[in-house]
């Protein structure tokens, strides 16, 4: 919710503002009555905190100028005037409540909450869209009955979007309302916070079965991401199968997209494979957290081809197959995990005790860890001059100390190669005692590596 404080004492105004912002309100401050009246009339506020002794325009005059256009706006008056008549005059002029100076902030905060509860119809204090609910007074958000923790800015952004559901909202409107600054076309702060509000994906255990390993292999679709991980201290190797229809949306989401599937079926690039390794490590961490009482660890091993997976276990061996349903903003699919017999009994006992798998972390924490793994994955970077041809006579009788001149200008850029692909033009530089490269421009990428992915990892 957004609150306007009109107070000429800058120290007191700052004190009130900091206290309200700590409670996740969006707060604007005006230091004189004329500016405050203009802001209260032209902008949309949920509450007005008004001092009576103001320069340029006193508090009573502010009240009288605001009330005709904002009859429902709750107004809390701050006054140092000791007379009862002054407080009565403020209430008769349109104030909803009065607080005498000096005051306790806890009392001020309680009066703010009380005014917000009764100042607008209940539909305004409680917002709901589908299964998403927001209590604007208590600052609580729930989806499908589950609480969601949001920062102050995330809450303010979600509140603004919910209040304007169905309307066309521009970046400038969001910037000016939520951040209270003039719109800068160079900022991507809105896009960043919109991504924070997205749920990366939700994982739900849907079935637990005992299968032979051959039966598990038959379940794997033609296009799948296959990997193994180690289950310790059992020293067992488990197999993971993730539908390829989920792999590309996951990568797209982690690189700042909306989780869309690519139009064309293709192989995973080396860069995308590194990102998926981080994703599988996170999934292993989720399993380890869910079944922490077993004292077992789950560590990513390697990605496999289908032919390699078939040699992982004897076909007739019994495995414990867990099927997980993964939901994302624009896609969904299934992930299967096969545990060998040596690890099955302990897992079955645990599943029987707690009824399945449950996540212990919120979606924002999962996203942060996934992004950290993806961004920390190392790729080889080399700065090299494109290959060139020289006559044999230039190569004969070369000796240490001699200079071999190339048919390229010294000011020409070199190739910046990432994972064996040329992505940049760059110049060799020095950064203190280290070698460095100065990137001059991003090069168009080959069809094997979509340009949007290349731009994101840059």
Domains in the chain, please, with CATH?
Answer: 2-120 (3.40.50.2300), 127-197 (1.10.10.10), 202-376 (3.40.1550.10), 381-457 (2.30.330.10)
The region, left, alpha or beta by phi > 0 then psi within -120 to 50, assigned to residue 277 is alpha
329: confidence class by pLDDT, cuts 50, 70, 90: low
What would the pLDDT profile of 158-187 be if each residue is shown by its tens digit? Answer: 888 888 777 777 766 676 666 655 444 445
Question: CB within 8 A of 238, min separation 6: which ones?
Answer: 228, 229, 230, 231, 298, 337, 338, 339, 340, 343
Tokens, residue 341: 């017999």
Supply the DSSP symbol for 297: E
Span 25-30, average pLDDT = 85
Tokens, residue 414: 């070199």
**Which region among 57-61, 132-136, 315-319, 373-377 has the lowest average model confidence (pLDDT)?**
373-377
How far apart, in Å, do the first and last CA atoms of the chain sit?
37
| pTM > 0.85: yes or no | no
Tokens, residue 89: 């005059």
Span 244-265, average pLDDT = 70
Report whether pLDDT(265) > 70.
Answer: no
- What's residue 103's pLDDT? 86
**Helix ranges restricted to H, 75-126:** 84-92, 105-119, 122-125
Q: Contact, 399 vs 356, CB < 8 A?
A: no
- What's residue 49's pLDDT? 94
Helix (H, G, I), strand (E, B) or coil at 424: strand
**Which region among 112-116, 162-166, 343-347 has the lowest average model confidence (pLDDT)?**
343-347
Q: Exposed/middle/buried for 103, CB within 10 Å: 0-12, 13-18, 19+?
A: middle
Name the more confident of 439 and 278: 439
Mean per-residue pLDDT of the chain: 77
């Amino acid at each position: 919710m957004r609150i306007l404080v009109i107070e000429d004492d800058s120290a007191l105004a700052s004190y009130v503002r900091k206290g309200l912002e700590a409670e996740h309100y969006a707060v604007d401050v005006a230091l004189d009555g004329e500016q405050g009246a203009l802001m209260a009339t032209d902008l949309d506020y949920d509450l007005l905190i008004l001092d009576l002794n103001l320069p340029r325009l006193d508090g009573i005059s502010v009240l009288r100028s605001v009330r005709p256009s904002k009859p429902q706006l709750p107004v809390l008056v701050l006054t140092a005037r000791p007379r009862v008549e002054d407080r009565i005059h403020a209430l008769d002029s349109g104030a909803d409540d009065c607080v005498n100076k000096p005051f306790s902030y806890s009392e001020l905060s309680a009066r703010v909450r009380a005014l917000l509860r009764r100042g607008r119809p209940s539909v305004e204090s409680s917002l709901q869209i589908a299964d998403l609910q927001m209590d604007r007074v208590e600052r609580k958000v729930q989806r499908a009955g589950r609480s969601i923790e949001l920062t102050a800015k995330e809450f303010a952004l979600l509140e603004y979007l919910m209040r304007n559901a169905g309307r066309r909202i521009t970046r400038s409107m969001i910037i000016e309302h939520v951040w209270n600054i003039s719109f800068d076309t160079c900022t991507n702060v809105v896009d960043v916070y919109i991504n924070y509000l997205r749920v990366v994906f939700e994982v739900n255990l849907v079935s637990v079965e005992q299968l032979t390993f051959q039966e598990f292999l038959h379940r794997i679709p033609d296009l799948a991401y296959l990997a193994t991980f180690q289950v310790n201290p059992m020293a067992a190797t488990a197999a993971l199968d993730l539908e390829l229809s989920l792999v590309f949306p996951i990568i797209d989401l982690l690189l700042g997209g909306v989780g869309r599937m690519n139009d064309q079926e293709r192989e995973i690039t080396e860069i995308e494979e590194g990102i998926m390794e981080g994703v599988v490590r996170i999934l292993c961490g989720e399993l380890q957290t869910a079944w922490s009482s077993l004292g077992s660890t789950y560590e990513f091993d390697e990605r496999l081809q289908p032919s390699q997976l078939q040699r992982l276990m004897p076909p007739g061996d019994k495995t414990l197959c867990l099927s997980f349903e993964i939901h994302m903003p624009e896609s969904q699919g299934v992930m299967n995990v096969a545990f060998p017999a040596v690890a099955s009994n302990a897992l079955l006992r645990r599943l029987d005790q707690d009824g399945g798998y449950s996540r212990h972390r919120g979606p924002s924490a999962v996203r942060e860890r996934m992004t950290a793994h993806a961004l920390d994955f190392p790729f080889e970077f080399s700065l090299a001059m494109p290959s060139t041809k020289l006559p044999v006579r230039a190569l004969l009788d070369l000796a240490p100390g001699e200079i071999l001149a190339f048919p390229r200008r010294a000011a020409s850029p070199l190739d910046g190669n990432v994972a064996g692909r040329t992505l940049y033009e760059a110049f060799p530089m020095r950064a203190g005692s280290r070698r460095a490269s100065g990137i001059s421009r991003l090069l168009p990428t080959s069809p094997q590596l979509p340009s949007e992915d290349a731009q994101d990892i840059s």
